[in-house]
Amino acid sequence: MRKIIAAGNWKMNGSRTMTATLINTIKGGLAKDCNCEVLICPSFGYLSLACGLLAGSPIKLGAQNISTEASGAHTGEISGDMLVDLGCTHVLVGHSERRALYGETSEIVAVKFEEAQLVGLTPVLCLGETLEQREAGETEKVVEQQLQTVIGRVGIDAFERSVLAYEPVWAIGTGQTATPDQAQKVHAFLRRTIAAQNGSIADSLRILYGGSVNGSNAAELFAMLDVDGGLVGGASLKGDQFLDICAAA
Ligand code: PGA
């Protein structure tokens, strides 16, 4: 039985006040019997504050990005060791905004995945096709290439300590959520692809769906066989919405 994950990707939003308010709302509102794993990913500047606020709570802390390098002369970058030092257990790698806006290729994403694991962070590997690629019938080809590039670098066994997030680019921040069937189809394909290389890793690997998840559509998405939770952007910035998503899990 795979434990559902509700993960919030705050992107480049927030302030000290907002971080404190949102974390206290989530902490206070999370049902005692909630049996999902909750993860929040604020931007770098608020990780330390968030870590302090989360002390003693089961909510986990993740970063949104990691350097490909371990240390040294890389102005503006943040290393895996620093993220661990700031209290992170997880880090997003390969988010489509990083790929599209900051030129991250699948090869770069694979290095980031590896760097995360080297310092004991759990990478949340994001994959997904654009609308153009979906309309051209290339969805499976695209996500398979994104996945295989990482497997090619780190090997399949590394996926035992990772999470996948299928995030169709056309569904991110658009309000146009993939239907539960559309999501399930791609999730099942990703699990089959992993299973062809290691059946037990495929069985235990959590595959999250991301792209306009909210308090009203989370339950039907999470009910799908191969959907093991959500990576949530916009709705994770609203305490009540995010709590509804956690409750749906
Ligand atoms: P969204 O973002 O929920 O606002 O669509 C999801 C994501 O980019 O992770």
- Tens of pLDDT, residue by residue over 62-71, are 999 999 999 9
pLDDT of residue 31: 86
Contacts of 131 (CB under 8 A, 6+ apart): 169, 170
Burial 23-39 (b: 16+ CB within 10 A, else e): beebbeebeeebebbbb
φ, ψ of residue 210 in degrees (nearest 5):
-135, 145
Contacts of 52 (CB under 8 A, 6+ apart): none
- Identify whether 69 is a catalytic site residue: no
Alpha-carbon distance of 116 to 93, in angstroms, equals 9
Alpha-carbon distance of 83 to 187, in angstroms, equals 29
Pocket test for ligand 1, best of 172, 212, 245 (most atoms within 8 A of CB): 172
Alpha-carbon distance of 186 to 230, in angstroms, equals 14
**Do residues 53 and 24 lie in contact, with contact meaning Cβ atoms separated by under 8 Å?**
yes
- Exposed, middle or buried by CB within 10 Å (0-12, 13-18, 19+), for 144? middle
Ligand 1 atom with the shortest distance to the CA of 175: 5
pLDDT of residue 1: 84
pLDDT of residue 34: 86
pLDDT of residue 32: 84
236 CB near ligand 1 (under 6 Å):
no
pLDDT of residue 219: 97
Domain containing 28 equals 5-248
Ligand 1: centre distance to CA 172 (Å): 5
> What is the domain count for the chain?
1
Q: Which of 95, 114, 129, 187 is catalytic?
A: 95
Structure tokens at 180: 């539960």
Ligand 1 atom with the shortest distance to the CA of 234: 4
- Identify whether 114 is a catalytic site residue: no
213 CB near ligand 1 (under 6 Å):
yes
62 CB near ligand 1 (under 6 Å):
no
212 CB near ligand 1 (under 6 Å):
yes
φ, ψ of residue 130 in degrees (nearest 5):
-80, 170
Structure tokens at 193: 């692809």
Neighbours of 242 (CB within 10 A): 27
CATH number at residue 97: 3.20.20.70
Alpha-carbon distance of 170 to 68, in angstroms, equals 27
Q: Which of 37, 97, 115, 167 is catalytic?
A: 167
Residue minimizing CA distance to atom 6 of ligand 1: 233
Please identify every stretch of the chain with a pLDDT value under 70, giving residue numbers as ranges: none
pLDDT of residue 33: 84
Using the structure block, give the residue that is written with the tokens 């700031």. 86
Ligand 1: centre distance to CA 101 (Å): 15
Closest CA to 37 of 6, 1, 10: 6
Q: Where are the beta strands (DSSP E) in the chain?
A: 5-9, 37-41, 60-63, 90-93, 122-127, 163-166, 206-210, 229-232
Residue minimizing CA distance to atom 7 of ligand 1: 233
